[in-house]
């Protein structure tokens, strides 16, 4: 093997290690990294300027040179470039292989928000919990595949043969990564594939999957970007929708953006997703468009009677990237509307759920304006949903989100409900998570469970 090829392989391995390590910090949004002034008593008097970056965030910016070198690599596999800020974290992982990084999560308990005595620790430990490793897709990058090849094997293969294999692997990886929700597979087969070791974490995960397998036969992997929680929840809700929810039937539903903007001028700083090839319109018109699309798709799918046809319609929707991401933006705006309602109810002395106190107890979201600037605007871009925001999503959709938290197996938090005391008439969707960051979908409820 020539010196030039050997140098190229070392560079590819370094890029792979950086890409893998990036997964761990990409969605760490910064409850501690962004800090806003304390909220004013006057709801109209909230500040409208986003908080400044902390020293930690500035440190991340200093590493942009490393991230820039990886830009081309990231685009090839379809990973959002805004996840590159943590690329330099690879230096902490240089003793680990790609598969080891996948399994060596750092888990931290966030407690149960519904318990009053846990609220303070939830707020305090929130930043620490954001340092957990993200789920790393099996087909993470072309460079990872290249670097995993045995160098001794290369000595006995023609250079053209090696190059053809690399191109094939890259094409396969890229196409699979773009799948929002992959086809179903046996849940224990998936577990065996993902957790082969004998570490305490691997054993706990296998036990957790075995417990889930008592209820569900299969699993569908969800694309692990920063929209993951929204994607998994919405996919499950639409897959089992039999009617249009009452809040979607309201005549004022599509007027929501206009009504809120007339009251709260700071909503003009809502971050809209960029649309290629066309100029952005007024913010209220754009959000209204998202809400109309959400109601249309929900109505169309709920009217499909056959389960197979309904599933096919969902699969088709979640392959249309433009429509899919528009739906997520609609959900985020509904979360903001719900947060405003809860905040006002609390200020007016009305009873609110406990999670609402926690939501506005954070330094970075002491009022809805800060929540928008420091959290909701970043969901899908530089961060995903935090635990307390899962409660907010559940209230916005009026759905109970039941989550099997596998790393909490054998504790009373193994099965967590968002909210913990849901309304009886709220439908239930079920998700699986290994780390409270990435969510997958269990499907095909076992016959005994159904009975």
Token digits for 130? 């954001």
CA distance 5 to 239: 49
**CA-CA-CA-CA torsion sign (90, 93, 97, 98):** negative
Helix (H) or strand (E) holding 348, with range, is none
Neighbour tally for 345: CB within 10 Å = 14
Q: What is the pLDDT at residue 448?
A: 47
Q: What values do phi and psi take at 118, rounded to 5?
A: -100, -10
Please spell the DSSP secondary structure of 330-341, one letter per residue: HHHHHHHHHHHH
Q: What does pLDDT average to in each consecutive run of 10 residues of the chain (451 residues)?
A: 45 46 41 39 41 44 44 41 37 40 37 42 42 37 41 47 52 54 96 94 97 96 95 97 93 94 94 61 88 97 94 94 95 98 97 95 96 96 93 97 97 95 92 96 72 33
pLDDT digits (tens, 9 = 90+) for 113-148: 444 444 444 444 444 444 333 333 333 344 444 444
Helix (H) or strand (E) holding 393, with range, is helix 387-397
Q: What is the pLDDT at residue 423?
A: 86
Q: What is the pLDDT at residue 227?
A: 96
The answer to whether residues 402 and 408 touch, using CB atoms and an 8 Å cutoff, is: no
- What are residue 416's DSSP bridge partners? 403
The answer to whether residues 20 and 101 touch, using CB atoms and an 8 Å cutoff, is: yes
- Mean residue pLDDT across the chain: 73
How are beta strands 439-445 and 415-418 bridged, if at all?
Answer: unpaired
Residues annotated as catalytic are 225, 228, 438
Helix (H) or strand (E) holding 360, with range, is none
């Amino acid at each position: 093997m020539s010196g030039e090829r050997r140098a190229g392989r070392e560079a590819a391995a370094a890029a792979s290690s950086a890409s893998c390590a990036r997964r761990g910090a990409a969605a760490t949004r910064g409850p501690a990294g962004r800090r806003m002034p304390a909220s004013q008593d006057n709801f109209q008097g909230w500040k409208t300027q986003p908080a400044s970056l902390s020293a930690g965030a500035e440190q991340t910016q200093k590493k942009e040179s490393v991230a820039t070198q990886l830009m081309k690599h990231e685009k090839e596999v379809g990973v959002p470039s805004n996840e590159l800020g943590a690329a330099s974290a690879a230096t902490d992982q240089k003793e680990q292989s790609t598969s080891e990084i996948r399994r060596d999560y750092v888990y931290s308990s966030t407690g149960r928000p519904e318990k009053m005595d846990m609220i303070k620790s939830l707020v305090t430990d929130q930043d620490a919990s954001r340092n957990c490793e993200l789920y790393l897709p099996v087909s993470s990058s072309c460079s990872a595949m290249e670097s995993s090849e045995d160098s001794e094997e290369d000595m006995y293969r023609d250079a053209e043969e090696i190059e053809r294999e690399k191109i094939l692997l890259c094409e396969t990886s890229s196409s699979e990564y773009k799948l929002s929700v992959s086809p179903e597979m046996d849940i224990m087969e998936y577990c065996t594939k993902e957790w082969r070791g004998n570490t305490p974490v691997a054993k706990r995960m296998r036990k957790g999957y075995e417990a889930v397998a008592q209820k569900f036969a299969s699993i569908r992997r969800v694309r692990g970007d920063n929209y993951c929680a929204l994607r998994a929840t919405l996919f499950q809700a639409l897959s089992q929708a039999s009617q249009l929810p009452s809040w979607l039937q309201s005549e004022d539903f599509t007027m929501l953006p206009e009504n809120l903007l007339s009251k709260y001028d700071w909503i003009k700083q809502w971050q809209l997703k960029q649309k290629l090839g066309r100029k952005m319109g007024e913010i209220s018109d754009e959000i209204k468009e998202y809400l109309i699309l959400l109601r249309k798709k929900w109505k169309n799918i709920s009217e499909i009677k056959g389960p197979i046809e309904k599933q096919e319609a969902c699969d088709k929707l979640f392959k249309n990237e433009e429509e899919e991401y528009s739906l997520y933006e609609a959900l985020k705006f509904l979360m903001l509307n719900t947060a405003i309602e809860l905040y006002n109810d609390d200020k007016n002395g009305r009873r609110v759920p406990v999670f609402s106190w926690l939501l506005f107890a954070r330094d970075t979201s002491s009022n809805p304006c800060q929540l928008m600037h420091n959290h909701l605007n970043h969901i899908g871009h530089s961060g995903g949903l935090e635990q307390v925001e899962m409660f907010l999503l559940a209230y916005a959709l009026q759905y109970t989100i039941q989550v099997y938290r596998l790393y909490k197996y054998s504790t009373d938090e193994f099965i967590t409900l968002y909210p913990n005391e849901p309304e009886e008439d709220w439908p239930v969707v079920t998700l699986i998570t290994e780390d409270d960051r990435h969510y997958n979908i269990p499907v095909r409820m076992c016959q005994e469970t159904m009975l």
